[in-house]
Chain A
Amino acid sequence: MGLDPVVLFFVFGVCAGLLKSELKLPPALYETLSIILLLAIGLHGGVELAAQASLQLLGQAAWVLALGIGLPVLAFAVLRLLRFDRVNAAAVAAHYGSVSAGTFAVVVAYMLAKGITFESYMPLFVAILEIPAILVGILLAKGIARDTHWGELGREIFLGKSIMLLIGGLIIGAVAGKEAIKPLEPFYTSMFKPVLALFLLEMGLIASGQLGALRQFGLRLLGFALLMPLLGALIGALLGRFIGLSLGGTAVLATLAASASYIAVPAAMRLALPQANPSLSLTASLGITFPFNILVGIPLYLALSERLIAWGL
Chain B
Amino acid sequence: MNAHTRSLLTVIAEAALEKKLVTDLEQLGAPGWTISDARGRGGRGVRSAGWEAEGNIRLEIICNRELAERIASHLQAQYYADYAMVCYLSQVEVLRPEKF
Contact = CB atoms under 8 A, between A and B. Distances in A.
Interface of A: 24, 27, 30-31, 202, 205-206, 209, 213, 262-263, 266-267, 270-271, 274-275, 278-279, 282
A279 B53 contact: no
B66 interface: no
Nearest to A265: B53
A204 to B, nearest CB: 12
Given A270-B16, A274-B83, A279-B45, A31 B52 contact: yes
B16 A267 contact: yes
Contacts of A266: 53
A30 B14 contact: no
Contact of A263 (B17, B45, B52): B52
Contacts of A263: 52-53
A266 B53 CA distance: 7
Given A274-B83, A275-B82, A262 B53 contact: yes
B14 A206 contact: no
Main secondary structure of the interface of A (DSSP, over half): helix
B43 to A, nearest CB: 13
Given A267-B16, A271-B16, A274-B82, A209 B50 contact: yes
B16 A27 contact: no
Given A27-B50, A206-B50, 9 more contacts: A27-B49, A27-B55, A266-B53, A270-B53, A270-B83, A271-B20, A274-B81, A278-B53, A282-B53
Interface centre among A262, A274, A282 (most CB of B within 10 A): A274
B84 to A, nearest CB: 9
A27 B54 CA distance: 11
Contacts of A202: 51
Contacts of B83: 270, 274
A271 B54 CA distance: 14
A206 B46 CA distance: 13
B48 A209 contact: yes
18 contacts: A27-B50, A27-B51, A27-B55, A30-B50, A202-B51, A205-B50, A209-B50, A263-B52, A267-B52, A267-B53, A270-B14, A270-B83, A271-B17, A271-B20, A274-B81, A279-B45, A282-B53, A282-B54
A213 B52 CA distance: 18
A274 B51 CA distance: 19
Nearest 3 A-B pairs (CB), nearest first?
A274-B82, A270-B16, A266-B53
Nearest to B79: A274
Contacts of B20: 271
Contacts of A24: 50
Contacts of A279: 45
A268 to B, nearest CB: 9
Contacts of A267: 16, 52-53
B52 A27 contact: yes
Contacts of A205: 50
Contacts of A275: 82
Contacts of B51: 27, 30, 202, 206
Contacts of A31: 52
Interface string B86-99: 00000000000000
Nearest to A279: B45
Interface string B31-75: 000000000000001001111111100000000000000000000
Contacts of A282: 53-54
A122 to B, nearest CB: 25
Contacts of A209: 48, 50
